[in-house]
A and B are shown apart, each in its own frame.
Chain A
Amino acid sequence: MFGRTRKASDFGAEIEAHLEMETDRLKEQGMSDEDARTEARRAFGNVTRVQERFYESSRWPGWEHFWQDLRYAARMLRQSPGFTAIAVLTIALGIGATTAIFSVVDATLLHPLPYPHPEQLVSVIDDLPGVGAQDVGMSVPEWHDFQRSGIFEYVAPSGGGDVNLTGSSQPTRILFAAVAPNYFALLGVQPELGRSFNPEDTTPGFTLEVLISDRLWKGAFASDPQILGRNIRLDNDLYQIIGVMPASFHDPGQTTAQRNTELWAAAGLAGPPAPDPLRASHFLAPVIARVKPGLTVTEAQSRLDALVASLQKEFPQDYPLQSAWRVRLVPLKQTVVGDVRQSLILLLGAVGLVLLIGCVNVANLLLARASARGREMAVRQALGAERRRLVWQLLTEGLLLSLVGGIVGLAILYCTKGFLLQIVPDSLPRLNEVTINWPVLLFALGATLFAGAIFGLAPALHAGRQDLTHMLKQEARGSTGSGEQARTRRVLVITEFALSLVLMIAAGLLLRSFADLMHAHLGYNPQSVMTVRTWLPIPNDLATDVYRTPALQAPFLREVLRRGSTLPGVEEIAVGNLAALPLGHSRTDLNPFSLVIEGRETNANQAPLVDGSIVTPEYFHLLRMTLLRGRLFAQADDENALPVVVINDAFAQMYWPGDNPVGKRIKIRVPGDRSTFAWNTIVGVIADARTESLAEPTVPQMFLSLYQRTAKDWAIFLRGRLDTAAIPAQLRAQVQSVNPELPVFGAQTLHDVVSASLSQRRFSMEIVALFALTALLLAGLGIYGVISYIVSERTHEFGIRLALGAKSRDIVRIVLRQGLGLAIAGAAVGLLGALIVSHLMAGVLYGVRPTDPLTFAGVALLLIGVALLACYIPARRAIRVDPLVALRYE
């Protein structure tokens, strides 16, 4: 210890001093100077040798041992490449997966929000617990009360949606947010170009000033340096760009759409187009606020509670006691992360468990090897190696293995990073912040060392406990280690088999469902069909909308159809709204229409809701939908004719079972359309088609004519021998030659739309399959480790059996029986688990029963096959034992 602090030169000086003093002494006794020097050196002995001994003793012995152990460990791993590869892969898998999940946890849960003093940022949420309503929205007077309360520095509501942007290089559909003018002052973020909104602005409506995102600036405006002060139109209304936000800025929204906001418009939200600012008109959501410096969120909450109580007293009409109005402050980070927190922690736990099982497996393999190396250890110990050194050496082997595994895991993770981020659903908050950074690398290193310690310690402890003479005399003859250890290993292998069986069956059932869905009868033909979208503007002043009635819309619609049909390859063309795009809309894009059926009493609050689409007459033939009764729309069904409706068979069966619905009349209330509450006559019934969901064959639906209704969210359908690369631009040119202000976007083949609708299902299937394969690999590895261990422990016994005339077949049978027993026990437990899990999964299965015998039997057989394979390798090793060798060590 202390020797390290002393320099060799100091030691040399001491020797020099000794020689001088000795020479002095000898000269005093009367020797000549030369003789005295020679005598002093002779008495000292070999100076160089003494200095060498100093060097040796001053070096830290630990390091030397460590390097020696490391070299030895590397040699051992090189000697058995098969074992090393399997172990390294297992660890790489575990560490790669754990690190991947941790990097997401790190970005979403551990990092503070990227705004100054994020701890002061809160979401302000209005609840009415008395009537069981949460997050009902805030009213404008409440907002102003809170802003003036002295509790908050700023309170800012916002609201968003998508809108047509014109005035850039090309009309586009963009995501925008209407925010209070103090929004950016609240967040504490400055634009990278230009200025922010004036937080004291009190304009009731839109201030006509907008900020744009860096992405929009670089994309739609080609990084125009003259961007500031430029005029643009949003749904035909004029605005001015006053700044560009930094590339790193993302809106702190809860949804993907909010987070990807490309444009912010400042608005007082107290005048048109917003509703009248009444106290009871709760429409502001989400609302965020920055708590005054020095106040904690809890203190702010209690002061807010007092304010809410006094407002309730002041305005008893607006806040009835039974609704129990309350305002809740939630840290902004919590609302941004949302529900993901729990599932992420759960996922991290699950992946950690996989890593742990992987470690235990590798520990098993190492144990099997350690017992095979028992004699080596015993001999080294007998030759004077300290037991501590042997333990350290085994530990070093484990650590080296885990380090190599960890590095391989990280390398795999780094290479597949882009792909992994793609398959993660982009609804995950803060996905853009996920990176492999220092904390993540530190975590990976920690996991690696932890793993190495776990499976390095197992054989090390084993070696530490061994009785030397026992080991030398008989290499574990007949003994099967400690009974407890053996039992633990067996239970582990059985658990692994059970787990992988459950996962494999889940994956198998999902796979069969997926295959069935791919071949489901659609009821329409998506081949050779392309869809392109456009969106008619909704200006702030509805009176200026040039397409506000079907009659105003019809000339434009006819012109788009006429021009579109002249494009090369186009044989048929039709237009519908977004709801008419088969499988191409999410449930939230639907506005179910409420119905009144002629001759039936309907409670106004319980009107039946049916999904409806608005289409042109060509739509049905273009998609090859089948007419069952009556007729389809005709060109004569225009704005002057009686309103007509086409329904599907499911709708007919639901309200007129066994009766002909053609000629029956219904009233349809289209949301946001007050003029259409008239009787509609059912003119036709079409066959059910899977346009809402591939898995649901019968969803009641109805179709209205686009010549009798208005729609803003258009999908243009084209059928023919289309050049899919050229058509989008050609169609855009045609649409914009009629109205140059319209964005034309979202071109897709209908086939892609249909297969994209399965992406969520495909993702979960792939994830389950991935887990199942991992589990299978681990289970195979586990049984291999245990059986290898048993074989090496019983080598001696097998030798005797072979010497006594047992056939190698018999030995193989003994070994395989051991393994098969474990596998069958695991499979039995797993089958029970799989029955439970598959019934829970019934909701996501399609076309296959939860107890599908083919899947169950197939997976069980596969698993047992893997077990047999994993046992066969050690079994072969057992029969290759030379009886002489096995018996020699008596």
Chain B
Amino acid sequence: MELLQGTLDLLILRTLIFGSQHGQGIARAIQQTSDEELLVEHGALYPALQRLEERGWISAKWGISTNNRKARFYTLTSAGRKQLVKETTKWNRLTAAIGRVLESEEG
């Protein structure tokens, strides 16, 4: 399943709520937690991370990964946490609304 535009940001923020993670880890996590349903093109991840960092929702610093590789680790900031709550609410309302529409079509 391809990602809807704008949902990648939400997924990244959501993934980071469990703690710092590097880009490759985020990509893995999204794929795994969605039971491999969502395919993230890894390349698309990095400009998105850059954008989120510029907006101040996540911060980044270089560190060492579990298998001893240099990697850039991203952490959710407090602004990012608020943004996540906002985006999640918005997303839930949207899906609920779309769901209602689709149900009424069926009925």
Contact = CB atoms under 8 A, between A and B. Distances in A.
Nearest to B68: A24
A15 B41 contact: no
Contact of B53 (A2, A13, A47, A53): A2
Nearest to B70: A17
Interface string B44-87: 10110011011010000000010101111000000000000000
Contacts, number: 69
A47 B42 CA distance: 10
Contact of B41 (A13, A20, A22, A45): A45
B54 A57 contact: yes
Given A18-B24, A43-B41, A45-B41, A50 B53 contact: no
6 contacts: A3-B50, A21-B67, A21-B69, A22-B24, A44-B43, A45-B41
Given A18-B24, A18-B42, A54-B50, 17 more contacts: A3-B50, A3-B54, A6-B50, A17-B70, A18-B46, A20-B69, A21-B71, A22-B24, A25-B24, A43-B41, A43-B42, A44-B41, A44-B42, A49-B43, A54-B46, A54-B47, A57-B47
A713 B78 CA distance: 93
Interface string B1-37: 0000000000000000000001111011000000000
A1 interface: yes
A15 B46 CA distance: 8
A15 B24 CA distance: 9
A11 interface: yes
Contacts of B51: 57
A14 interface: yes
A18 B23 contact: yes
A21 B22 contact: yes
B44 to A, nearest CB: 7
Contacts of B67: 21, 24
Contacts of A18: 22-24, 27, 42, 46, 71
B47 to A, nearest CB: 4
B72 A14 contact: yes
Interface of A: 1-3, 6, 11, 13-15, 17-18, 20-22, 24-25, 43-47, 49-50, 53-54, 57-58
A2 B54 contact: yes
Interface residues of B, number: 23
B43 A46 contact: yes
A21 B24 contact: yes
B47 A50 contact: yes
A18 B67 CA distance: 12
Given A2-B54, A2-B56, A21 B65 contact: yes
Nearest to A21: B24
B63 to A, nearest CB: 11
B54 A45 contact: no
A2 B51 CA distance: 9
Contacts of A17: 22-24, 69-72
Contact of B43 (A1, A2, A47, A57): A47
Contacts of A57: 47, 50-51, 54
Given A2-B54, A24-B67, A14 B43 contact: no
B42 A14 contact: no
Contacts of A46: 43
Contacts of B69: 17, 20-21, 24
A21 B69 CA distance: 7
A22 B42 contact: yes
A687 B52 CA distance: 100
Contact of B28 (A1, A6, A20, A25): A25
Contacts of A20: 69
A54 B53 CA distance: 12
Nearest to B28: A25
Contacts of A58: 50
A493 B54 CA distance: 51
Q: Which of B44, B50, B53 has the most CB of A within 10 A?
A: B50
Contacts of A13: 70
A46 B42 CA distance: 10
B74 to A, nearest CB: 10
A743 to B, nearest CB: 81
Most A C-beta atoms less than 10 A away, residue of B22, B23, B41, B46: B46
A45 B56 contact: no
Most A CB within 10 A of own CB, among B42, B51, B71: B42
Contacts of A43: 41-42
A58 B47 CA distance: 10
Given A1-B54, A2-B56, A45 B65 contact: no
A14 B46 contact: yes
A14 B23 contact: yes
A534 B36 CA distance: 113
Nearest to B67: A24
What 7 A-B pairs have minimum CB-CB distances, sorted nearest first? A45-B43, A44-B42, A21-B24, A50-B43, A53-B47, A45-B41, A18-B24
